[in-house]
Amino acid sequence: MAEQDLSPDFYANGTMATDSLYNPATGTGSGHIKYDPNGNYGDLAISPEQETVQLRRGEVTDYIRLRLADGIVDVELDTEHYNLSINQALIKYRQRADNSQEESYGFLKLKPETQEYILPNIVMDVRAAYRRGIGSVTGTTASQFEPFASGYLNTYMLQAGKVGGLLSYELFTDYQEQAMKMFGGYLNFTFNKTTKKLTIIRKMPFQGANPSEENMEDVLLHMYNYKPESMLLNDTQAFPWIQEYAYSFAKRILGEAREKFATIAGPNGGTSLNGASLKAESAEEMASLEQQLKDYVDGSLPLTWVIG
C-alpha cells in the first residue's frame, strides 16, 4: 500500500519527509534550492532568507489582526503600524535578550595602506584579529603552520611508537602561540561599537601599486553579532515572545488612536471607545513580557560568575 501524506512533514508510517541534498547529475550535495549569496537565485525570485522573513512577518501580522478581532470590528491599523510593531519587538528583544546574539568568525581582506574598515551594522563587537601566519608583513610570504596536519605527521608518522610524540607537538604549539604574540600573529586594533569602524594599529604594505584581491591578506576576525531577522523569526523559543510583544505594541497604537475620541455621537448617547483600556492592557502585557526575558523563557543563557 502506498504511503499517504498526512502532512507536509510526515508520512503515514511516521517517517519524516526530507529533501535529499544529493544531486545525482553532478554527484555533489548542492541541494535542491538554487541559491547564490551573490544574488543569483536561479528559479527563485528572491533569496530564501528574504522569503522566510516575509512569510513570518505575514504570520505575525495575521496574528495581531485576528487577536484584535479584525473582521468582526473595524481595526484602524495600516500595514505601516503592523511593521512598526514587529520592528519594535525585534529592537526590544535584541536589547534585552542574550539569545538575540551569537559568536561568529569572519574574514577581512586588508587593503593596501589601509587601516580603517567599516563593518556591517549587525556586528556588535570584535574580540580578536588573527593573521594566517607570522614572520612577515604579507600573507603570501608569512610563516604558515597547519596544526592538525602537523600534529598527525608528528604523532603518527615521525614519532610513532616513540616517547615524546604528543609532548613535542604540545611544546611546538606553545612555541608558535608565543611567537604569534611577539611577531604580529595577533593584530592590535580598536573597534567603535557606534560607527562600526575597525582601526588596525598597523599598515600592511603590499608589493605593487594595485595588487589583486588574491594577493591581499585575509585576516580572521573573532566577532559578536546580532542574529539576523530570519533566524530570530524561526527560533521556536524567541518567535512566540516577539509575536506577543508585537501584538501588545500594536494594541497600544490602537489605544492611542481610540483614546482621542472617548465617545462617538449617536442615538441613545453614542458609543464609548475602549482606548484607555487598550493602553492599560498593553502596558501590563509589555511589562510581563519583559519580566519573561529576565526569567530566560526565550532560551537565553543566564548570567554566570562575574569576577572583578
Beta bridge partners of 271: 264
Tell me what pLDDT residue 94 has.
93
3-state secondary structure 276-288: HHHHHHHHHHHHH
| Mean pLDDT score, 30-41 | 47
DSSP string for 208-230: SSS--GGGSPEEEEEEEEEPPHH
pLDDT tens, residue by residue, 42-83: 544 555 566 688 889 999 999 999 999 898 888 889 999 999
Q: Are 238 and 93 in contact (CB under 8 A)?
A: yes
Name, of 37-51, 118-132, 211-225, 283-297, the range with top average pLDDT: 283-297
Tell me what pLDDT residue 33 has.
43
pLDDT tier for residue 6 given thresholds of 50, 70 and 90: very low
pLDDT tier for residue 180 given thresholds of 50, 70 and 90: confident
**What count of residues does the chain have?**
308
Tell me what pLDDT residue 30 has.
45
Residue 223 pLDDT > 80, yes or no?
yes
Grid coordinates 549569496 are at which residue? 37
Tell me what pLDDT residue 32 has.
42
Residue 35 pLDDT > 50, yes or no?
no
Tell me what pLDDT residue 141 has.
42
Q: What's the CA gap between 117 and 218, in Å, rounded?
A: 13
pLDDT tens, residue by residue, 78-130: 999 999 999 999 999 999 999 999 999 988 888 877 888 999 888 999 999 98
Tell me what pLDDT residue 172 has.
74
Residue 190 pLDDT > 60, yes or no?
yes
Grid coordinates 441613545 are at which residue? 268
Tell me what pLDDT residue 140 has.
43
Q: Are 127 and 223 in contact (CB under 8 A)?
A: yes
Tell me what pLDDT residue 295 has.
92
pLDDT tier for residue 187 given thresholds of 50, 70 and 90: confident
From 110, 126, 105, 93, select the one nearest 219 (Cα to Cα): 110
| Mean pLDDT score, 275-283 | 91
Tell me what pLDDT residue 275 has.
85
Tell me what pLDDT residue 217 has.
79
Regarding predicted confidence, which is higher, 25 or 70?
A: 70
| Mean pLDDT score, 251-264 | 84
Neighbours of 54 (CB within 10 A): 12
pTM for this structure? 0.70
Residue 307's Cβ-count burial label (10 Å; 0-12, 13-18, 19+) is exposed
Residue 1 pLDDT > 60, yes or no?
no
| Mean pLDDT score, 145-172 | 61
Residue 174 pLDDT > 50, yes or no?
yes
Regarding predicted confidence, which is higher, 13 or 289?
A: 289
